[in-house]
Amino acid sequence: MAYLDISQVGISFSRGGRTSEVLRDVNLTVEKGEYVSIIGHSGCGKSTLLNIVAGLLRASTGGILLEGREVNAPGPDRAVVFQNHSLLPWLTVRENVKLAVDKVFRGVKSKAERRDWIDQNLALVNMLQASDKRPSEISGGMKQRVGIARALAMEPKVLLLDEPFGALDALTRAHLQDQVTEIHARLGNTMIMITHDVDEAVLLSDRIVMMTNGPSATIGEILPIAISRPRKRLDLVEDATYVHARAAVLEFLYARHAAPALAA
């Protein structure tokens, strides 16, 4: 049995008497500890699929099993990191993480254990030194690190990343990509990431799931990334496997499944 099993998932939305099918017959299995990226043009339903896995949306058809249990509502076993860090501005860095930790572990861990657990997760993303600052006092990249720490502190079975680096400058983005790679190597988390960035997908992923265009989008192709870990971005620039994988994704996106606005 697969760790995460997405089976025949489809979803439609109705408004004003009209129904729009966003996803149709999406099938994907993800193994424990795997890093999977989902890539495709805007409007292909990537974030919709992630929200179904998170339990924020109910599929119209099909279903999802996590360790054999149906996913039909949000839960701490699936933590989401959004492009927008979603930190509460009136709380400190520590207090933002504490909200999640108290929600999941109150009654399980003592107050002292919860505090140590918060520190451990802030240290994991190099934010312990800024634990008493408020979001307005730290950079965008630091805010996103806090969001990742908050998600990890819930000890989720699956970490869902919805374009987590999309709003960051290129240098900050590269630093956070490297940090997420190190976290994945250290903790062995199961991660599913939505991205528009081909290089990011190839650098981070074990497999890249390529979506066809909507409406009625589905998985068009799945590309394994046969590059050993740890991966160093400078070493990969001329790596034949990296170059081939990058070209395969670009060919899928821009030759076989061009964005609707660009299609002939």
Residue 264, pLDDT above cutoff 70:
no
Indicate whether 64 and 47 sit together in one domain: yes
pLDDT digits (tens, 9 = 90+) for 240-250: 999 999 999 99
Using pLDDT thresholds of 50, 70 and 90, give the confidence band for residue 86: confident
Using pLDDT thresholds of 50, 70 and 90, give the confidence band for residue 235: confident
Which of 38-47, 51-60, 254-263 shows the lowest per-residue confidence on average (mean pLDDT)? 254-263
Where helices occur in the chain by DSSP H, the ranges are 46-54, 93-105, 111-124, 140-153, 170-187, 198-204, 233-236, 240-251
Residue identified by tokens 């606005």 is 261
Amino acid at position 219, single letter: I
Task: Find how far residue 19's CA is from the centre of its chain.
Answer: 28
pLDDT mean over 7-32 = 94
Residue 1, pLDDT above cutoff 70:
yes
pTM, 2 dp: 0.92
β-strand partners of 195: 39
CA 175 – CA 168 distance, rounded (Å): 10
Residue 63, domain extent: 1-77+161-176+186-264
Amino acid at position 64, single letter: I
Indicate whether 67 and 194 sit together in one domain: yes
Indicate whether 42 and 98 sit together in one domain: no
Note whether residue 181 is domain-resident: no
Indicate whether 229 and 124 sit together in one domain: no
Indicate whether 150 and 166 sit together in one domain: no
Sign, CA torsion 149/154/158/160? negative
For 250, the 3-state DSSP assignment is: helix
pLDDT digits (tens, 9 = 90+) for 147-176: 999 999 999 999 999 998 887 888 888 888
